[in-house]
A and B are shown apart, each in its own frame.
Chain A
Amino acid sequence: MVRLDYYIFGYYKVRVKEEHKTYFLNESLKEKLSFKINSDGEFLISAWHKKRLNSLFSKEIFTYSPILGIPSFVIKNKKRYGLISGILLVSLLFFLSSLLVWDVRLECEDGIDTIRARELLDESGLFVGALWHTLDNSKIENSLLLSSPDIGWVNINRRGSVAYVEMRKKDIPDTPGQLIYSNIVAAYDGVIEEISVKSGYAVVKAGDSVRAGDLLVSGIMPDALGGAIVNAEAMVIAKRTDTVSVEISKLGTKTLLDPPFLSDFSIKIFNFSVNILKSGGNFDNEYAIIEKNTPIFIFDKKIPLEFNFTYRQQKREISLTHSPDEMTSLAAVELNGKMLELLKTSTLISLRTDGGFFGDKYMLTSYVTHSLNIAKEVQIEIG
C-alpha cells in the first residue's frame, strides 16, 4: 500500500539487484534510511529520497521506474486545465460530504421501543448530520446500555457515511424464582475491552480499569428495573499485561540415571498379591521407578495371574557449565513453555521480549498483552 504523501508528491518504484541486496540493506541500516522492502528487493521512495539514495549508492545497483502518483498524472495532463480543476473540486466535495452522518439505520428486536431507541441515539449524539470524528461508537453503545432498561446488546457499525445500529432485548426474568443468585466479579486485574450481559445489571463499561474482586455485573437489579435478584451471567473480556521472565545461569545441574536394578517382584493371583522380592530402604526421592506388569495369556486368553516387576534407577546430579549457545536456547525453550501456559485460556494481543547476558546469567523477559474472560460468578448470600 502506497503512502498518501507519496501519491500526492510523487514516488518511484526501485528494485535492488539481488547480488547487492544484503549490502544495500546493511548500508541503509547504518545510514538510517527508512523504507519497506520485499524479498524481491523492491521498495518505494519519495522523489526527495531519490536524491539521497543516489548520493549514497552507485546507480548501478538499482533500477528505477518513471515517476508515479499524482505528479505523473499532472505531467501527462498538464495542459487540460478544466480536467484538473474539475477533479480538485469533486475531491473537495467528496471529502467534505464524507465527514457527515448521512443516515442512521436502526434495527430493533421485538420488545424494544423503536421511537425511544431513536431518541436515545439522538441524545447520545448519533443523528443525521452529526460529524463522524466527534462520535465514539463504544461510548454510545455503553451509554445506550446503561440508560435503557430494555436494551441488552447494541452494535453500531459504519459503512461509508451510513450508521447501522442493531439492538437486542435484555432478558429480565418476570419473577425471581431461581434458587441461586449471583454477582459477576473480576477474577483478575485488567482493562475491559468488551462486555456482553446475558442477565444482570452491568456496573462497568468498556474502557474501565478493574481490579481482581471488583463487581462487574450485579445480580441485584436497580429499583428502576424492578429490583429483582437474578443469577448474573455475562462474558467480560479484559486486556491485561503479564510479565514472563526466565533466567539461565552459566552453571547448571543435570540429572543422570544409573542402570536400573530389580528392587521388587510380586506375583498377583486373582486379587491377591504375593511378594517374592522386596528391597528395604527409603527410595523416595533419590530413585526413579519403572513398573512393569506382565499378564499371562494362554491361547490368547488372559488368566488371573500376573507378574509385577519394579525396577529402580538411582539419580545423580552433576554440575555442568552451559555455553552461551546453550544458555540462549535453554532460555528460549523455558520461555516458550511459560508462554504456552499463560496463553492456555487467553488470546495474545502483543508481545515484547528483551534479552541479554547479565554477568554469568542470560535473561529473557517477555511482556505479554493478552485478552481473556475475567468474569467470575460469586453467589449472593441472602439472609
Chain B
Amino acid sequence: MRKKSKDKRQRSQRPPHFHIEADRYSGGISVIISGVKEIIDFSDTQVILSLVGGKISIKGTLLTLTLFENGTLQIFGKIALWEFLYGKA
C-alpha cells in the first residue's frame, strides 16, 4: 500500500511531456514547442532542442526563434524536416 502511494507521488512529480504545435503561414511554418529543457544548437538552418523525454531537431532555412515568458519556444521559417531523437543533451 505504501509502495503504491509512493509511486503515485513520484508520477505526480514527473515533469509534463513535451507538446508541439505547427501552423502554416504565408511566410513558412511556425512550430510552437513547450517542455523545452535546453537549446543545444541554433543556426539559420537547424535548431536542436532537448525536451522532456527526448530531443528534437528542426531543419529548414531562414529559421528564427522566439522565446516566450512561459518557457514556450516558437520556431518560424521555411521548415523542411523535424526529427524526434532520443538521448540526453
Contacts and interface: CB of A to CB of B under 8 A. Distances in A.
Nearest to B66: A36
A21 interface: yes
Most buried by A among B67, B68, B74: B67
Contacts of A357: 53
Contacts of B38: 26, 29
A192 interface: no
B80 interface: no
Nearest to A347: B24
B66 A37 contact: yes
A348 interface: yes
A364 B22 CA distance: 15
Nearest to A32: B69
A328 B84 contact: yes
B71 A355 contact: no
Interface string B74-89: 1000000001111100
Contact of A25 (B63, B65, B68): B65
B84 A329 contact: yes
Contacts of B45: 39
Contacts of B39: 22, 25-26, 29
Contact size range, A: 20 to 34
A349 B23 CA distance: 6
B8 interface: no
Interface of B: 17-24, 36, 38-45, 52-54, 63-71, 73-74, 83-87
Contacts of B44: 38-39
A33 interface: yes
A34 B65 CA distance: 10
Contact of B67 (A34, A349, A355): A34
A353 to B, nearest CB: 4
A325 B77 CA distance: 27
B86 A328 contact: yes
Contacts of B87: 325
Interface string A117-156: 0000000000000000000000000000000000000000
5 contacts: A32-B69, A328-B84, A352-B20, A354-B17, A364-B84
A112 B38 CA distance: 63
Given A26-B38, A349-B24, A350-B24, 14 more contacts: A22-B39, A22-B40, A36-B65, A38-B64, A39-B45, A39-B63, A323-B86, A350-B21, A351-B20, A351-B21, A352-B20, A354-B19, A355-B18, A356-B17
A42 to B, nearest CB: 10
A25 B43 CA distance: 12
A362 to B, nearest CB: 9
B84 A35 contact: no
Given A352-B19, A355-B17, A356-B18, A37 B64 contact: yes
Contact of B84 (A26, A332, A348, A351): A332
B54 to A, nearest CB: 6
Nearest to A42: B64
Contacts of B18: 354-356
Contacts of A356: 17-18, 52-53
B40 A351 contact: no
A29 to B, nearest CB: 6
A26 B36 CA distance: 10
A355 B41 CA distance: 21
Given A325-B85, A355-B53, A29 B71 contact: yes
A39 B64 contact: yes
A34 B69 CA distance: 5
A349 B42 CA distance: 26
A323 B54 CA distance: 13
Top 4 A-B residue pairs of the complex, sorted by shortest distance between their CB atoms: A356-B17, A39-B44, A36-B66, A325-B86
A357 to B, nearest CB: 6
A324 B70 CA distance: 29
Contacts of A327: 86
